[in-house]
Amino acid sequence: MLLTISYDGTAYHGWQVQPNGITVQAVLQDSLQKLLGVRPAVTGCSRTDAGVHAREFCCHFDCDEAFPEKAFLKGLDAFLPGDIAVKECREVSPDFHARYDAKGKQYAYYILNSSVRDPFNARYVWRIERKLDTQRINRFCENIVGTHDFYAFSSSGRSTDDTVRTVSDCSAEQRGNTVVIKITANGFLYNMVRIIVGTAVAVSDGQSEPNITEKAFSLRERSVLGQTAPPQGLFLEKVFY
């Protein structure tokens, strides 16, 4: 069965089960166990970091029983905490895999570009007081699009040796006092989006040039890029199958 959920990642140490922290995966398994009477293995489409949110996160698990969709959704929702919601469930083939069958994902990063704090939005944005230059950021984003070796745009905790990814869209948009950077790709490396965003801010500040990507792709050195943006502004927006 394929589940689509959304969650506020503030209270969680990411998606994947960990021995020393509460995670979205563990809480979802707890809730499914209460509903089904057995604890299913749940496989997610991605491994979001601690503090990262998801508007659309997909995961699958094996279920021997058939449930009416509305009854299943209502039953599972009753066991979930308020910061996790189940949006949809549907049957899929036994060989379906939420991660490996995904054709791509879209992330969005939200920056509150304001000198005034917003206490109602603080958990969901990175606040930067100085004015950001979205034109410079978009020139940088244009250089991100395409098939490249994103080794430099990942942290040492990456779980794969294959660091080539294809980014189909990367752009920044000003929405009032919020700058939204959206990135769509066939896959992402550990901290890839947050490093792209941190580097975009460095480009905006004039600390790096928009073509810093050329150096990063050729040298494969994390040190030539900007900081890793904090997690709370990052949302997994959509998963494509």
In a domain, 97, yes or no: no
Q: What is the pLDDT along the chain (241 residues), one digit of tens a residue?
A: 999 999 999 999 999 999 889 999 999 999 999 999 999 999 999 999 999 999 999 999 998 777 788 899 999 999 999 999 999 999 899 999 999 999 999 999 999 999 999 999 999 999 999 999 999 999 999 999 999 999 999 988 777 889 999 999 999 999 999 999 999 999 999 999 999 999 999 999 999 999 999 999 999 999 999 999 999 999 999 999 9
Q: Which of 49, 77, 83, 161 is catalytic?
A: 49
Sign of the Cα pseudo-torsion (38, 41, 44, 47, in order): positive
- Shared domain for 64 and 131, answered yes or no, is no
Return d(Cα 30, Cα 72) in angstroms, integer.
15
CA distance 92 to 111: 37
Instruction: Please state the pTM of the whole predicted model.
Output: 0.94
Q: Is 162 a catalytic residue?
A: no
- H or E, element range at 181: strand 178-185
- What is the CATH classification number for the domain harbouring 52? 3.30.70.580
How far apart (Å, rounded) are the C-alpha atoms in residues 125 and 118? 9
Same domain for 232 and 179 = yes
Q: Which domain holds residue 120?
A: 104-240
